[in-house]
């Protein structure tokens, strides 16, 4: 290891491998492997289903997510004794079809998840790869940036900045994208540090490949499996944070049907009409669960690959 003294100055507890706590060092067992694989498949199926529902929303429902019939307010869902098939999940306080709003709400969660992780993944991976590949002063500087970022409480900072910039879908994406890159940076940094000293990287350098070429052809393809795992973690994180911000009134604004916002709107009626908050909450739970199951499966796969 050629890490300089500068870099190890920051061997703080924060900048260790953030996936370490999730490593499954249990001896492999047949049922666990099968279970994990089944869980991953279930996660993938659920994700595809949610994405399809979100995409095909206009064809799946004939209602408008933004305007409702005020004579049809707070209708109960179909499993309720007074429910009808006309409004499967009932209606909200403005008479808007709840199922319809959920479908369009899935779009918001997915947009948040994908665009936030694209931004944060780009920032974090660039920083992490640079730090790991060049080491020395570059590493010291980037490690310092990571440490600083970790010292700022995400939820609090996101809430303050989003509200000051004017809460909207775009603001939330920008703020979360600029905040949630730390794990990408930490993971790619430590992965690249290990790769850098491997023979084929040295060989590529000896052949006269430029740094950029080595990074893109030798390093990145071998880091991608770890980054994919981080991607799922941060996607789930971003979706949960968006829902929380919107719930607090600091994220996506009405009349957009964000699931967090729907829970906030149903809160005043939650004792007598609990489905208003139960249904969007379950949707969030299922989406996050699906993403984490895929992430867990990917992690298992990359762990098995590296032990082989």
- Residue numbers at the binding site for other proteins (CB under 8 A): 3, 5, 8-14, 20-27, 29, 31-32, 144, 147-148, 150-157, 159-161, 163-166, 236, 240, 243-244, 247-250, 260, 263, 267, 270-271, 274, 277-278, 281, 284-285, 288-289, 292-293, 296
Q: Least CB distance from residue 105 to other proteins, whole Å?
A: 13
- Closest listed residue to residue 187, CA positions, set 148, 156, 232, 152: 232
CB 70 within 8 A of CB 96: no
| Integer angstrom CA distances of residue 180 from 11, 171, 230 | 21, 14, 11
For other proteins, the closer of residues 20 and 206 by Cβ is: 20
Q: Least CB distance from residue 224 to other proteins, whole Å?
A: 23
Q: Least CB distance from residue 70 to other proteins, whole Å?
A: 26
SS3 label, residue 74: coil
For other proteins, the closer of residues 100 and 158 by Cβ is: 158
For other proteins, the closer of residues 33 and 70 by Cβ is: 33
CB 204 within 8 A of CB 216: no
Q: Least CB distance from residue 58 to other proteins, whole Å?
A: 27
- Token pair 């049907």 is found at 257
- Token pair 């509200």 is found at 163
Q: Least CB distance from residue 276 to other proteins, whole Å?
A: 10
CB 92 within 8 A of CB 266: yes
Q: Least CB distance from residue 282 to other proteins, whole Å?
A: 9
For other proteins, the closer of residues 174 and 220 by Cβ is: 174
For other proteins, the closer of residues 54 and 264 by Cβ is: 264
CA atoms of 265 and 82, how far apart (whole Å):
22
For other proteins, the closer of residues 292 and 302 by Cβ is: 292
CB 71 within 8 A of CB 95: yes
CA atoms of 194 and 127, how far apart (whole Å):
16
Q: Least CB distance from residue 257 to other proteins, whole Å?
A: 16
Phi, psi values for residue 167, rounded to 5° = -60, 130
For other proteins, the closer of residues 12 and 211 by Cβ is: 12
Q: Least CB distance from residue 104 to other proteins, whole Å?
A: 19
CB 210 within 8 A of CB 159: no
Contact residues for 186 (Cβ-Cβ < 8 A; gap 6+): 15, 16, 17, 18, 128, 146
| Integer angstrom CA distances of residue 45 from 50, 69, 150 | 9, 35, 34
How many Cβ atoms are within 10 Å of 36's Cβ, its own excluded? 18
For other proteins, the closer of residues 11 and 211 by Cβ is: 11
């Amino acid at each position: 290891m050629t890490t300089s003294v500068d870099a190890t100055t920051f061997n703080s507890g924060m900048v260790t491998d953030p996936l370490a706590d999730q490593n499954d060092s249990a001896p492999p067992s047949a049922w666990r492997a099968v279970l994990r694989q089944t869980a991953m498949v279930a996660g993938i199926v659920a994700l595809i289903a949610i994405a399809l529902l979100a995409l095909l929303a206009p064809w799946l429902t004939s209602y408008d997510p933004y305007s409702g019939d005020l004579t049809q307010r707070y209708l109960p869902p179909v499993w309720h004794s007074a429910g009808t098939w006309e409004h499967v999940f009932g209606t909200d306080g403005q008479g808007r079809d709840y199922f319809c709003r959920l479908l369009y709400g899935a779009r918001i969660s997915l947009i948040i998840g994908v665009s936030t992780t694209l931004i944060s993944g780009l920032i974090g991976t660039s920083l992490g790869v640079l730090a790991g590949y060049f080491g020395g002063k570059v590493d010291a500087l980037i490690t310092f940036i990571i440490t600083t970022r970790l010292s700022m409480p995400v939820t609090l900072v996101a809430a303050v900045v989003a509200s000051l910039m004017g809460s909207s879908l775009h603001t939330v994406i920008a703020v979360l994208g600029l905040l949630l890159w730390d794990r990408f940076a930490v993971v790619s940094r430590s992965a690249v540090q290990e790769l850098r000293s491997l023979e084929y990287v040295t060989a590529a350098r000896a052949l006269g490949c430029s740094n950029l070429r080595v990074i893109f052809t030798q390093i990145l393809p071998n880091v991608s499996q770890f980054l994919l795992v981080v991607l799922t973690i941060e996607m789930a994180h971003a979706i949960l944070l968006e829902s929380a911000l919107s719930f607090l009134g600091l994220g996506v604004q009405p009349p957009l049907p964000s699931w967090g916002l729907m829970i906030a709107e149903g809160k005043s009626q939650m004792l007598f009409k609990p489905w208003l908050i139960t249904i969007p909450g379950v949707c969030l739970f299922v989406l996050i669960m699906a993403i984490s199951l895929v992430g867990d499966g990917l992690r298992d796969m990359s762990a098995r690959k590296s032990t082989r």
